[in-house]
Amino acid sequence: MGRLFDSPWPIVIIIVVALLLFAGPKLPTMARSLGQSMRILRSEVKEMRSEGNQPQSSSSTSSSSASPQSPEAGEPPVEGKVIPPKGAEEGDGGTAGPSQRA
């Protein structure tokens, strides 16, 4: 029995088999989320490197005059419109909520 713990390979194999048995259905979603995280990390690192490669004089003036903004800051804000529920426009008392019935 002591020979099982002589090297790490039998323990690694047991852990891999247990993961495949108990976490098998979750492995594709875990791999997908890991891939998305890696893509985001790579894009952020690339963006940081491109910011670091800019000339120092132009980056110092733009960073001091502008506040940190999101990449979508140049786009106009999205405006929403509140749509009343059906029946509220007609004045039906039967479809009103509990606070409006009394």
User: Which tokens in the block code for residue 20?
Assistant: 């495949």
State in Å, rounded, how far the first CA of the chain is from the last one. 76
State CA 84 to chain mean position distance.
Answer: 31
14-51: pLDDT as tens digits? 999 998 899 888 889 999 999 999 999 999 999 999 88
CA distance 88 to 97: 10
pLDDT band at 60 (very low <50, low <70, confident <90, very high): very low
- The confidence score (pLDDT) of residue 94 equals 52
CA distance 9 to 76: 57
**Residue 75 CB-density burial (10 A; 0-12 exposed, 13-18 middle, 19+ buried):** exposed
